[in-house]
Structure 1
Amino acid sequence: MSEPDKFEDDLLYALTRTGEGFRTEQAEQAGLVADGYRLGRRRWRRRSAAAVVGGAAALALVGTGTVYLVSPGAGDAGTVSAASAPASSVGITAGSSAGAATPTVLQSAARAAVSGDEVLATFRALLPKGEITEATGQGTDGGPKATQALANLVFDDGQGKSLIQFSISKHRPGQVQLPSCPPDPTLVRVDACTDTVLPDGSKLLLQQGYEYSDSRADTKEWFAVLNGPDGRSVAVHEWNAPKEKGAPDSRPNPPLTLDQLKAVVTDKSWDRIVKALRFDGIDTEAIDPGLSPADYETVLTGLLPSGATVTGRTGQDTGVAFELARAGRAGTVSVLVKNWAKAPDDRPAPQWYQDAEILPDGTKLLTHAPAAPTLSGKLIADATRPDGLEVLVVTASNGDPLLTAAELRTIVTSPAWKAGK
């Protein structure tokens, strides 16, 4: 499948999701709880950017109909909150790559980068005596967008080899879901689990469990996760096998006790690396344009072509989806506005705009239209002004596009869009 076709399919799926709820039988709920916990645990362990093909970012359409964007990182793991990613990361420019946004808070030329070797050395120094092989590290020296530091190694204290993985990232307040012990440990094969709040306000999770909750193998996975008041999230995972999956168990238990895992994640030697990391999300408060859903509707209504009317509205301040009617047809228009003026370092990297049309006033315009009418009839336009205001509009209909590309262009480039604060 070509990159344009992949983008078409992904967007079609996103725009046609209904978000309708479903009911399950009581007998199925236990399995869902276990699967949800297990998948959630893996997500915050392996923090990774949304899969992006040819620069096309993933979109999701929740029950309200509002489009949410996920922006890729520059080869590093990263996450963004719903409706908080750079709108231009819709990936209209194929083949582009850019780092996830960099927050204003820690932007300083004086910030010292940390190499992968230093991350690895710091991690190794906190381990007990033993043989270490297959060691790798990732630091913050790969570019200014680094959001995560990593270390992986195989450790043998004479009792057998064990894979141990370390990761550290940093979240803004309110932009992280703290890990917690499962409500019913028997459903996910957890032998022991505690989550406590330390004197400095950090939350510490310690757990002894298994790689597989369905008992297909008895490989054990023990881990510790520390989430600190400064946004740090430090995690160490270990197994009683030299690989996470697909290798025979090499020892009865992983080598580090829970107390030793706690000592690793709470050690102050990570402070310098925390300072070198940027937050892995965008400052949503800073880029909030200060427009209410009613403000969105007022502006959009004034820009719609003759015969097109708004018949419904759902969404929130950061993005609003409108139901439209025109000439007996119905469709949706989702509008997102970002104000990068208050968070200039959060702006999408220049690569996003390498194929953009530059308008006389300096506005960078990206557009996407299907080569031929498709079921979704989707069109996309994204305009970013020199003053930092960005307007993204996505349309969808069950047939021919409800708005033409020229009409969409008029909407996103209109000076009527102004930041409310």
Structure 2
Amino acid sequence: MTSNTSLQQRRLSAVPRGVGNAFPIFADRAEGSEVWDVEGRRYIDFAGGIAVLNTGHRHPKVLAAVHEQLDKYTHTAFQVLPYEPYIELAERLNELAPFHGDAKTILFSTGAEAVENAIKTAKAHTSRSGVIAFTGAFHGRTMLAMSLTGKVAPYRKKFGPGVAGVYHVPFPAPEHGVSVAETLRALEFLFRADIEPSEVAAIIIEPVQGEGGFHPAPNELLEELRRICDQHGIVLIADEIQTGFARTGKMFGIENTTIEPDLITVAKSLAGGFPLSAVVGKAAIMDAAEAGGLGGTYAGSPVACAAALAVLDVIFEEKLVERANVVGAKIKAAVSRAAQRNDTVAIAGLRGPGAMVAFDIVKSRGGSEPNADATKRVVQAAIADGLVLLSCGVHGNTIRILVPLNVPDAVLEEGLARLERALAVANV
């Protein structure tokens, strides 16, 4: 009989350590918000494939669309023989674009590809080379995306210098002792010391930092970035790869703010588990690259496009934008109750819009000193109790919750009870 132990041994022999695994648990099947491993054990999924499954595992409508497309064709390469699902999805995303004016969309396969091509598009539009990102950001693992990522270990460790022309300024977060004023001062210093604004092609920012700890970008900062970009002709890119598709209680995270970006990158929950990403942007900017300058052999897979069109239907039919706020409120209420107990680990900084919820594990109640060891214990206690839970954050002490938005209330409550138990078990 296949077991988690035997598969883990095979994995260690066959797969390099550079791709990590949160748990030595091997999936066998999944439905909705639940997963069963190869040994038949059931888990409640609070990770959602790292924000990929806003519509849940194997949604029937998504599977039906995929099966229908499989019976037609699976690949032609859009650059060789284009196809309608790509065009239809671009039209749908253009209608949803979180900015005024004409929009255009180009499709890729991964979030890192979307980020790379958003930067390429900005450079083509501006004829400039500089790019500004933020500490704590995560934009991917390819060379340019890695260079934009504002965290050395493990994403940049051992890989040498990043791409030239990438600069970082501190991301404002109360937990890190950085204010909006300090961020803007650092940006001003950057313009004085390292690169003038007229050489900057783009500023890229996550509306809510993902790997960085689920810290929302303050509206005050975004408004000032918008002003600076308008003043100097810089393209403002919102990385919506983790915040997109109803997760934050809006279709896109940037819609929780008062500003409009020029480009957005999307991926993860776009296609319900199938590899697909996109850059959606203002048409005048999106047309800057020459024909053939953008694309990819598998970019915009027709199967993934069919899945994505069904995902968009599910989001609207099941009112998942509104559902995100209901789910988020239930999560926050449960975590708040746990924080009042005397037998749990110390909890601080409960935050996040919609159902993009996180909180920190700290060393003392009422304190803010990170407790990464206790955070690891919480995650391990959760998986031992059948709850898939992830951590993140600059200090590794943040618990993040990315449960599918259409999780049944009973399953959500069961998962939250397991989370509360894990918070108590880890208090040793």
Give yes or no for TM over 0.5: no
TM-score, normalised to structure 1's length?
A: 0.25
TM-score, normalised to structure 2's length?
A: 0.25
Which structure has more RCO (C-alpha within 8 Å, separation ≥ 6)?
2
- Give the structure with the higher percent strand: 1
- Give the structure with the higher percent helix: 2
